[in-house]
Amino acid sequence: MKYLLLVYLDETWEKRSLAERQEVYLGQTRVAEDLRARGQYLDGNPLHPTTTATSVRVRDGKRLLTDGPFAETREHLGGYMLIDVENLDEAIAFAARGPLARVGTIEVRPVREGPPQ
């Protein structure tokens, strides 16, 4: 089953030193290599800061654009990982192994394939 792991970071992430952010990135990459070797890590990337985001909505036929992320929260979406594992327990175990879980929050969500049923 495919799971999307959404990485949420708070405002302190960008204030961390470059060396610390690189250490977390490389540590997470090493954890992902284990799944990649088994063909279970499908994709993943960090995202640019929320200052580069544009939210798009269409209401009453009119396109509305808002600078920044949709939600006003302390944490922001910092990246994602797409994995293909047997079950939720495996997805949670993977999310907990990496250093990103120690500096942020990893939301684990199953991927629905196909149209709504």
CATH code of residue 44: 3.30.70.1060
Mind listing the pLDDT tens digit for each residue in 42-61?
Answer: 999 888 877 787 777 788 98
Region 80-94 average pLDDT:
94
Pair 112, 12: CB distance under 8 Å: no
**Share above pLDDT 70 across residues of the chain, in percent, rounded to a whole number:** 92
Contact 3, 90 (CB under 8 A): no
Mean pLDDT confidence for 77-106: 91
Residue with tokens 């990982």: 81
Domain assignment present for 115: no
Does 61 reside within a domain? yes
pLDDT of residue 24: 93
Q: Which pLDDT does position 5 carry in this prediction?
A: 94
pLDDT at site 54: 78
- Residue 39, in any domain of the structure: yes
Q: Is 100 among the domain residues?
A: yes
Residue 116 included in any domain: no
Residue 74 included in any domain? yes
> Could you give the number of structural domains in the chain?
1
HSE-CB at 44 with a 13 A cutoff on CA atoms is 28
Question: What is the structure's pLDDT at 73?
Answer: 63
| Residue range(s) defining the domain that contains residue 95 | 2-110
Q: In this structure, is residue 98 part of a structural domain?
A: yes
Tell whether 90 is covered by a domain: yes
Q: What is the pTM of this model?
A: 0.82
